[in-house]
């Protein structure tokens, strides 16, 4: 872990608001280890009954796309409207698609 | 230079007199628990804005709020038991020192606010919180079967909070005890400071006997075995040796407090004494 001396590693926190929903990223915090990170996530991010389950993952374990590659990675999809299922005739009974 | 007159004029109601209680054994029994939660909450709350890291600052004050909630429920219940119409605020803020019946341990300073102030450090806080949470958890578990339904309901809710406090504080005991030389030395010193006061947690007297006979709750002596087993297991894992027992017996639960109690009460009571029934 490449943190400066005396500083706890950073953890990303994911909270599941209720059963059946996905864990959603809600922020980060510093903690000395994984177990304590879960406890501190409970303190910091579920104070108002926001959660029923918490995941933490070391921020350094996340590999992210480079913001500089945003154009290369994502812009080519801009003109491929045919990838959206909007060309199908839907029966009237299907309201929310 | 003369001080501004505003500082000299006290607001209406200043010097509100203390309430006096008819202290029956069941009332004493409930107040011992209520006041232990109340004063422990006050000590933990002193960390607000001073925690070693932001996350732990929030954790300490969250636990203080849990304990304050427990104290409020118990004090309201004590007011009903007493039957003189005293509410939770009057009981929390308008008693004289001798009428507070908390364990002496909780009134000991545990955060040094300046180089000249008495008090300990984060290790004292962690250790004391662990010893007390384990004690309260053991007590709440037994009180959930109380013949007093209101007390049983309060205990049923509080035991979940105490379980978490015990785990959080216990995890810190492990990390400090089995951490660096510095953290281990500080935790050992904190244990030596706190241990003599744990004697009072299990000192049975007539109030305990009456509570036990009425099915109100366990005598304090009955909590020792379960408490010691859990405490000894965590302390051993943290590579700490149990200190030897000493003959010292603190007497907060009898209303005879240490020199620190008056200072806490002065701070806690000043607002309610100056603005009785104040709301915001």
> For residue range A81-90, what is the model confidence (pLDDT) as tens digits?
888 877 778 8
Across B69-84, b (16+ Cβ under 10 Å) vs e yields: bbbbbbbbbbbebbee
Record: contact A44-B171, CB cut-off 8 A: no
SS (H, E, C) B112-139: CCCCCCCCCCHHHHHHHHHHHHHHHHHH
**pTM, whole model, 2 decimals?**
0.88
Tell me whether residue B131 is exposed, middle or buried, using C-beta atoms within 10 angstroms of its C-beta: 0 to 12, 13 to 18, 19 or more.
buried
pLDDT of amino acid B135:
98
A–B CB contacts, 8 A cutoff, strictly below: 27
B2-12 in b/e form (b: 16+ CB < 10 A) is: eeeeeeeeeee
Q: What is the gyration radius of the CA atoms in chain A, in angstroms?
A: 20
Residue B10's pLDDT is: 46
| Domains in chain A with CATH codes | 10-83 (3.10.20.520)
Q: Which residues in chain B have their CB less than 8 angstroms from residue A40's CB?
A: 55-56, 58-59
Q: pLDDT (tens digit, 9 = 90+) per residue, A7-55?
A: 899 999 999 999 999 999 999 999 999 999 999 999 999 999 999 999 9
Q: How many angstroms away from the CA of B213 is the closest CA of chain A?
A: 40
How much helix, strand and coil, in percent to the nearest 5, is found in chain A?
A: 30, 20, 50
| B167 to A39: CB separation less than 8 angstroms, yes or no | yes
Does A40 contact B171 at a Cβ distance shorter than 8 Å? Answer: no
Q: What is the pLDDT along chain B (280 residues), one digit of tens a residue?
A: 444 444 444 444 445 789 999 999 999 999 999 999 999 999 999 999 988 889 999 999 999 999 999 999 999 999 999 999 999 999 999 999 999 999 999 999 987 766 667 777 899 999 999 999 999 999 999 999 999 999 999 999 999 999 999 999 999 999 999 999 999 999 999 999 999 999 999 999 999 999 999 999 999 999 999 999 999 999 999 999 999 999 999 999 999 999 999 999 999 999 988 888 777 7
Stated as kind and residue range, the H or E segment containing A29 is strand A24-30
**Contact yes or no for B74/B154 (Cβ under 8 A):** yes
**What tokens appear for A77 in the block?**
């999809």
**Domains in chain B with CATH codes:** 19-274 (1.20.1260.10)
Residue in the block written with tokens 């230079």? B1
The shortest C-alpha distance from B4 to chain A (Å) reads 44
């Amino acid at each position: 872990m490449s943190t400066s001396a005396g500083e706890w590693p950073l953890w990303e926190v994911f909270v599941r608001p209720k059963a059946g929903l996905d864990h959603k990223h809600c922020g980060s915090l510093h903690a000395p280890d994984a177990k304590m990170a879960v406890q501190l996530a409970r303190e910091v991010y579920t104070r108002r009954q926001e959660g029923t389950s918490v995941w933490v993952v070391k921020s350094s374990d996340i590999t992210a796309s480079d913001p500089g590659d945003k154009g290369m990675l994502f812009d080519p999809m801009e003109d491929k409207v045919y990838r959206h299922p909007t060309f199908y005739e839907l029966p009237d009974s299907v309201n929310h698609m | 230079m003369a001080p501004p007159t505003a500082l000299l004029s006290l607001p209406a109601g200043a010097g509100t007199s203390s309430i006096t209680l008819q202290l029956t054994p069941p009332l004493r029994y409930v107040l011992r628990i209520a006041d232990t939660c109340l004063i422990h909450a006050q000590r933990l709350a002193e960390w607000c804005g001073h925690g070693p890291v932001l996350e732990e600052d929030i954790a300490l004050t969250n636990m203080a709020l849990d304990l304050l909630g427990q104290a409020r429920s118990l004090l309201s219940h004590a007011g009903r038991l007493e039957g003189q119409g005293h509410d939770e605020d009057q009981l929390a803020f308008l008693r004289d020192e001798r009428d507070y019946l908390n364990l002496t341990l909780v009134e000991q300073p545990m955060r040094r606010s300046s180089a000249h102030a008495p008090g300990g450090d984060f290790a004292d806080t962690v250790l004391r919180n662990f010893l007390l949470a384990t004690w309260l958890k053991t007590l709440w578990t037994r009180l959930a079967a109380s013949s007093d339904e209101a007390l049983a309901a309060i205990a049923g809710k509080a035991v979940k909070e105490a379980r978490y406090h015990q785990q959080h504080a216990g995890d810190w005991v492990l990390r400090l005890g089995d951490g660096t030389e510095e953290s281990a030395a500080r935790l050992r010193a904190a244990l030596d400071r706190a241990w003599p006061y744990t004697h009072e947690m299990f000192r049975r007297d007539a109030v305990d006997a009456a509570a036990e006979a009425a099915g109100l709750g366990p005598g304090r002596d009955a909590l020792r075995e379960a408490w010691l087993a859990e405490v000894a297991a965590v302390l051993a894992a943290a590579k700490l040796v149990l200190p030897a027992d000493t003959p010292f017996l603190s007497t907060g639960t009898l209303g005879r407090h240490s020199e620190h109690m008056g200072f806490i009460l002065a701070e806690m009571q000043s607002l309610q004494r100056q603005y009785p029934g104040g709301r915001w």
